[in-house]
Chains A and B, each alone.
Chain A
Amino acid sequence: QVQLVQSGAEVKKPGASVKVSCRASGYSFADYNTHWVRQAPGQGLEWMGMTNPGGDRSTYAGKFQGRVTMTRDTSTATYYMELSYLRSEDTAFYYCARDLTFDPSPILDYWGQGTLVTVSS
């Protein structure tokens, strides 16, 4: 079955970087876009960006441009999201999600379990 398994919770100091992983299984890893979405405690969903199936093109939300990098490792079927220059407002659950379609409007049909990143001095 399709699974996206993310890395464990992280605690970081302001100004540091965090790298969250998302290992895919149960489907052809290279056939789908993968998105990253975050959710601050008690807040809504916020789209961060996506990586294409080839892993050679990522699109980022303007808010995160210059601070986020999304990559993938084909050999391990793992996607990565690295966020730098962390501040307290970045404390949130970070989710990876598979995009079912290549249509203009993504359909996020499978989600990882989420990774809590806490930024605190």
Chain B
Amino acid sequence: NFVLTQPHSVSESPGKTVTISCTRSSGNMASSAVQWYQQRPGAVPTNIIYEDKERPSGVPDRFSGSINSSSNSASLTISGLRTEDEGYYFCQSDGSDHPVIFGGGTKLTVL
């Protein structure tokens, strides 16, 4: 199975835009759907992006997802950052042996 690598942390100011990457170690990122989960401090993970770029109902359009085939990665972009966006973000895809593979998670700080 492959590994999904995310930056350990990112930080940005309120109102700005931040992008979190998720790079697949082997195989084609575009061959499997990518989901993103947000986990606020002390809370349960929630799905914010599914199938690469789709948003569940209730998730604001400040959150967007994309796939970059040239870098074999997925990206989560959050625009108009708010302090409530602070927390951890995890990407997830599927592998041949494991239906669910998570990235290591990225801590977002909005300072």
Q: How large is the interface on A (under 10, 10 to 19, 20 to 34, 35 or more residues)?
A: 20 to 34
Tell whether A59 is near chain B: CB-to-CB under 8 Å: yes
Residues facing B in A36-92 (CB within 8 A) are 37, 44-47, 50, 59, 61-62
Q: How large is the interface on B (under 10, 10 to 19, 20 to 34, 35 or more residues)?
A: 20 to 34
Residues in A neighbouring B101, C-beta threshold 8 A: 47
| With A47-B98, A61-B98: A108-B37 Cβ-Cβ less than 8 Å | yes
Partner-binding segment picked from B9-17, B39-47, B63-71: B39-47
From A46, A50, A100, A112, B99 is in contact (CB under 8 Å) with A50
Contact of B50 with A100 in the complex, beta carbons under 8 Å: yes
From A44, A59, A103, A109, B102 is in contact (CB under 8 Å) with A44
| With A45-B37, A59-B99, A105-B33: A95-B44 Cβ-Cβ less than 8 Å | yes
| With A103-B33, A104-B94, A105-B35: A47-B100 Cβ-Cβ less than 8 Å | yes
Complex-state Cα separation, A109 to B55, whole angstroms: 11
Complex-state Cα separation, A114 to B105, whole angstroms: 18
Residue-wise, chain B 76-100 has the 8 Å CB interface mask toward A (1 for contact) of 0000000000001010111001111
From B33, B56, B93, B100, A37 is in contact (CB under 8 Å) with B100
Contact of B102 with A105 in the complex, beta carbons under 8 Å: no
Contact of A106 with B105 in the complex, beta carbons under 8 Å: no
Complex-state Cα separation, A112 to B88, whole angstroms: 18
Q: Which residue of A is nearest B100, CB measured?
A: A47
Contact of B94 with A113 in the complex, beta carbons under 8 Å: no
Interfacial residues, chain B to chain A (CB-CB below 8 A): 32-35, 37, 44-47, 50-51, 56, 88, 90, 92-94, 97-105
Shortest Cβ-Cβ A-B pairs, 3 listed: A105-B33, A47-B100, A105-B94
What would be 15 A-B contacts, judged by CB atoms less than 8 Å apart?
A44-B88, A44-B103, A47-B100, A61-B98, A100-B50, A103-B33, A105-B32, A105-B34, A105-B35, A105-B51, A105-B93, A106-B92, A107-B33, A108-B35, A111-B46
